[in-house]
Amino acid sequence: MFTVIGERINTTLKKVKSATENRDEAYIKNDVITQEKSGATYIDVNAGARIGHEEEDMRWLLSVVQSATTLPLCLDSPDPAILEMAYSLVERPPMINSISLEKDRFEPMMQFLKGKNCRIIALCMDDSGMPKSVDDIFCRAKALVEELEKIGFKRNDIFIDPLIQPMSVDAANGTMVFKAVEKIMTELQGVHTTGGLSNISYGLPQRKVINRIFLAMLMAKGFDSAILDPLDSAIMAVLKTADMLQGEDAFCMNYLKAVRAGSIVA
């Protein structure tokens, strides 16, 4: 089953930031409910945009979001202390976004993650910077999986983010990710792959079209999760159709349900 991490409760977005500053519960609840109805599996919660207010904003957002949905949350912060606080407040096992191999982040996050009942997004980043090849991505993915297994994580709870980079920067960035995802899903069997789809289209026109086609092509390589906007009905239609074509939708039931509901149209 494809895992959709709904990205909308993020204070870097102007409307969410304003709603958080003004403690507008109705706006946040409505957004969360709509994400769930549109097919989100997890609701990402990121309160990092207001410097000096992340802890209080995260506490408030978690209370409001959990009053609106029974979906599990993806706790999104670079600060292990914020994650520790947030973890203590969630009502069901969350996903944690994220760990990387960067020295300043790796050790604190490993200490935080020990003994936690959660899933984890693992970024293929180290102190040398963004990956420059398929081998870079795979070697970092393998190292992250090995380290997380040492502290008790099962592969089913590890989501590898290969770090999608813009096509506008390098024409090889798309094929690099396709090949890396295929290698990860073949050679590190049991793990998942995820990432922010919209990075691929940065700097280009008609970004939503690029993102939709990119998702379908990635899914053909085994990509089985994405951080995206579930309210983008067109990309959700692509997701459900690709899922069906890969044989992940028994008797095409989810596809047929979506067609009947009007969410997949010609």
pLDDT of residue 12: 96
| Residue-averaged pLDDT of the chain | 97
Q: Stretch 156-184: mean pLDDT, rounded? A: 98
What pLDDT, in 10s, does the model give residues 204-226?
A: 999 999 999 999 999 999 999 99
pLDDT of residue 7: 97
What pLDDT, in 10s, does the model give residues 51-84?
A: 999 999 999 999 999 999 999 999 999 999 999 9
What pLDDT, in 10s, does the model give residues 28-43?
A: 999 999 999 999 999 9
pLDDT of residue 1: 85
Pair 54, 46: CB distance under 8 Å: no
Q: Stretch 163-186: mean pLDDT, rounded? A: 98
pLDDT of residue 133: 98
What pLDDT, in 10s, does the model give residues 130-146?
A: 999 999 999 999 999 99
Residues above pLDDT 70, as percent of the chain? 100
The CATH architecture that domain 111-227 belongs to is: Alpha-Beta Barrel (3.20)
What pLDDT, in 10s, does the model give residues 251-266?
A: 999 999 999 999 999 8
Pair 74, 38: CB distance under 8 Å: no
The domains of the chain are located at 1-92, 111-227, 232-266
Q: Cβ-count burial of 55 within 10 angstroms (0-12 exposed, 13-18 middle, 19+ buried)? A: middle
pLDDT of residue 192: 98
pTM: 0.96
Q: In what order do the strands lie in the sheet with 73-76?
A: 192-193, 158-161, 119-123, 95-99, 73-76, 42-46, 3-10, 225-228
